[in-house]
A and B are shown apart, each in its own frame.
Chain A
Amino acid sequence: KNEVEQSPQNLTAQEGEFITINCSYSVGISALHWLQQHPGGGIVSLFMLSSGKKKHGRLIATINIQEKHSSLHITASHPRDSAVYICAVEGGSQGNLIFGKGTKLSVKP
């Protein structure tokens, strides 16, 4: 079993839909990252959080430390949101990042 599990692996949505991507982890962590990898390959950090909730534009990330679970929500999805979304947790004494396998999102117009 991977230390970081994401679901779903693939997600197809219609433009305008509300999207949720889930991340569960099995290790103690100091922080959790959500990353976005565009079809061209570039990786952008969306959020880094250790508790509660963060919002940036149409993106919202939440984390529940007790349940070892985080969600990434996208409101009013748009085709430009099509990308792979990767959850990564910081664990260990050196803060090594452990990555999930990613969720491939495709938003159709």
Chain B
Amino acid sequence: DTAVSQTPKYLVTQMGNDKSIKCEQNLGHDTMYWYKQDSKKFLKIMFSYNNKELIINETVPNRFSPKSPDKAHLNLHINSLELGDSAVYFCASSQVTRGQLFFGSGTQLSVL
């Protein structure tokens, strides 16, 4: 069983579209994260949720909206996609805030 699974693995879409990336963890962890890895492979945190509550919201355009229906899921919705949103998005979880991280396999988003 995959510990942290995110779908889809690849997402190709046109500018202006709205898309979602789903993330689920079966580790029983309390905290989940979204990270963005840019074309230079630099990672940066976007959001963190602890027990469905938002605890970190970095300077991310409000076109990006995370949603956590329960503590095992943290989905990422992106509205009005722009070329600059092309990147790899990683979901991760940890047992507690400030714990060892477990990553999903990443979603490569390409905006054309």
Contact = CB atoms under 8 A, between A and B. Distances in A.
Interface of A: 30-31, 33, 35, 37, 41-45, 48, 84, 86, 88, 90, 94-97, 99, 101-102
A42 B106 contact: yes
A25 B106 CA distance: 27
B90 A43 contact: yes
Nearest to B96: A95
Contacts of B97: 94-95
B79 interface: no
A31 B42 contact: no
B41 A33 contact: no
A-B pairs, top 7 by smallest CB distance, nearest first, are A95-B98, A43-B103, A99-B43, A48-B100, A45-B101, A94-B56, A45-B100
Given A94-B55, A94-B97, 13 more contacts: A31-B98, A33-B100, A33-B101, A37-B41, A41-B105, A42-B103, A45-B102, A45-B103, A94-B48, A96-B45, A99-B42, A99-B44, A102-B41
